[in-house]
């Protein structure tokens, strides 16, 4: 009888992946070689090395895909050229007339893509506050095919109960799709809670250094049917991650666990500091026990992550803060080693209609911090002087 392979813990798998534990690279290379080639020589007629053409597959990218599959508990993963590319591949599962319920507070780019899909592909989307389970149930139509969830949501940090979403999906025959960018598989693994598909902007925590775009689409075990359709679209279109960028993300993932722990420690300290500031109103951080989603998040994730949003007393304070920070950079994106501050209404959520933005609390006084791995006291000192 074959001996069962030892299941290494997630920290070990970020460093070694699943295959690398056993795999011996050419010349014993410890890091994954970058197979910078478009095509592969055939050994003979009807005899391939297993690789034929990089649009279809590439050994560097394969190793990244199996590493992300291992972290997420997925059957298979597609490594895409960006998070948006991964979401676009996902949409190939749907047909004109299909309806999808999505979290009302999604990444702005996802909303833009879904709006286009409504106009050009005949899909229908309804945006609901998915942190209120009964509202999701009420929103289901005969043509509803999937729930598309972000938890915590972006940028207002609402937490959706993934187990409750799974129950709804089972009852109504829907797919459960989760964008897991904010917590990363280090803190949250939606497939274990019933998700069929998981999306990542790998540009954020997975790669972690604000220097490489990437995206992932992971299919759960038992959803080989979906995986096959998705991989067909992916290899036909070619929105895959290059060998070099695959190497960059593999390298970034090696430190995922230590980065996430550090980011979370820093975020908690900064959230507590912000709460003491007279010019700061309601600090939204899922790691604060008074956050409305604290308990649900704790029941389904092992951490709270490093994203904080807050309101300032006036628009002037918010604008001043963005220009007065020195160490913290005023920039879009999140999940890297550098701390970034964003103004969602002017940046990521600029296209959101005024009414929808106001309902979500995405106002001119609203700011979002992606906490990095710097020294927490240095970050707090920077915020303190900028709030003066």
Number of other CB atoms surrounding residue 387 within 10 Å: 18
Which 165-184 positions form the footprint of ligand PLP (CB under 6 A)? 179, 181
| Of the candidate residues 65, 72, 150, 382, the single one contacting ligand PLP (CB under 6 A) | 150
Residue (161 or 179) nearer to ligand PLP, CB = 179
Which 239-268 positions form the footprint of ligand PLP (CB under 6 A)? none
Of 98, 179, 196, 245, which residue is the catalytic one? 179
Residue (256 or 386) nearer to ligand PLP, CB = 256
- Of all residues in the shown chain, the one whose CB is closest to ligand PLP is 83
CB 160 within 8 A of CB 140: no
Active site (annotated) includes residue 205: no
Of 13, 98, 104, 107, which residue is the catalytic one? 107
Which 367-386 positions form the footprint of ligand PLP (CB under 6 A)? none
> How many binding residues for ligand PLP (CB under 6 A)?
15
Number of other CB atoms surrounding residue 143 within 10 Å: 11
Number of other CB atoms surrounding residue 29 within 10 Å: 9
Q: Interface with ligand PLP includes 213 (CB under 6 A)?
A: yes
Residue (94 or 205) nearer to ligand PLP, CB = 205
Q: How far apart are CA 141 and CA 139, in angstroms?
A: 6
Which 36-95 positions form the footprint of ligand PLP (CB under 6 A)? 82-84
Active site (annotated) includes residue 112: no
Which residues does 48 contact at the CB level (< 8 Å), separation at least 6?
A: 40, 42
Active site (annotated) includes residue 61: no
CB 148 within 8 A of CB 103: yes
As measured in angstroms, the least distance from the Cβ of 184 to ligand PLP is: 11
**Closest by Cα among 143, 136, 188, 141 to 166:** 136
Of 61, 145, 166, 204, which residue is the catalytic one? 204
The token pair that represents 13 in the structure block: 């798998």
Q: How far apart are CA 80 and CA 213, in angstroms?
A: 9
The token pair that represents 128 in the structure block: 């609901």
Active site (annotated) includes residue 53: no
State the SS3 of 144-164: EEEEEEECCCCCCCCCCCHHH
The two beta strands, 340-342 and 329-330, are: parallel
Q: Interface with ligand PLP includes 204 (CB under 6 A)?
A: yes
Residue (62 or 179) nearer to ligand PLP, CB = 179
**Interface with ligand PLP by CB under 6 A: which range of 6-14, 199-207, 336-344, 366-374?**
199-207
Q: How far apart are CA 57 and CA 45, in angstroms?
A: 20
| Residues tagged active-site | 55, 107, 179, 204
Residues that bind ligand PLP (CB under 6 A): 82-84, 107, 109-110, 150, 154, 179, 181, 201, 203-204, 213, 215
């Amino acid at each position: 009888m074959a001996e069962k392979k030892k299941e290494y813990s997630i920290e070990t798998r970020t460093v070694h992946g699943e295959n690398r534990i056993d795999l011996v690279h050419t010349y014993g290379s410890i890091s994954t070689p970058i197979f910078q080639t478009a095509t592969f020589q055939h050994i003979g007629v009807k005899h391939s090395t297993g690789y034929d053409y990089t649009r279809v597959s590439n050994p560097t990218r394969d190793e990244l895909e199996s590493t992300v599959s291992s972290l997420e508990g997925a059957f298979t993963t597609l490594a895409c050229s960006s998070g948006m590319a991964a979401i676009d591949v996902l949409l190939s599962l749907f047909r004109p007339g299909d309806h999808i319920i999505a979290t009302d507070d999604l990444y702005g780019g996802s909303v833009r893509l879904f709006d286009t899909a409504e106009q050009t592909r005949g899909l229908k989307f309804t945006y609901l506050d998915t942190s209120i389970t009964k509202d999701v149930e009420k929103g289901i139509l005969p043509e509803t095919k999937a729930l598309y969830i972000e938890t915590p949501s972006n940028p207002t940090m609402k937490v959706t109960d993934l187990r409750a979403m799974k129950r709804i999906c089972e009852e109504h025959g829907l797919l459960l799709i989760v964008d897991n960018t904010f917590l990363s598989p280090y803190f949250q693994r939606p497939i274990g809670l019933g998700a069929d598909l998981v999306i990542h902007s790998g540009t954020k925590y997975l790669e972690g250094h604000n220097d490489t775009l990437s995206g992932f689409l992971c299919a759960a075990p038992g959803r080989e049917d979906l995986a096959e359709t998705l991989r067909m679209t992916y290899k036909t279109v070619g929105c895959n991650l290059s060998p070099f960028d695959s190497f960059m993300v593999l390298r970034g993932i090696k430190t995922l666990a230590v980065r996430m722990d550090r980011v979370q420690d820093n975020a908690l300290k900064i959230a507590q500091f912000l709460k003491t500031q007279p010019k700061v109103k309601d600090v939204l951080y899922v790691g604060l026990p008074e956050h409305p989603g604290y308990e649900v998040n704790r029941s389904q994730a092992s951490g709270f992550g490093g994203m904080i949003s807050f309101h300032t007393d006036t628009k002037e304070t918010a604008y001043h803060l963005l220009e007065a920070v020195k160490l913290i950079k005023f920039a879009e994106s999140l999940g890297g080693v550098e701390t970034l501050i964003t103004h969602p209404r002017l940046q990521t959520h600029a296209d959101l209609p005024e009414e929808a933005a106001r309902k979500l609390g995405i106002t001119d006084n609203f700011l979002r911090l992606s906490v990095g791995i710097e020294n927490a006291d240095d970050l707090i000192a920077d915020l303190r002087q900028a709030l003066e």
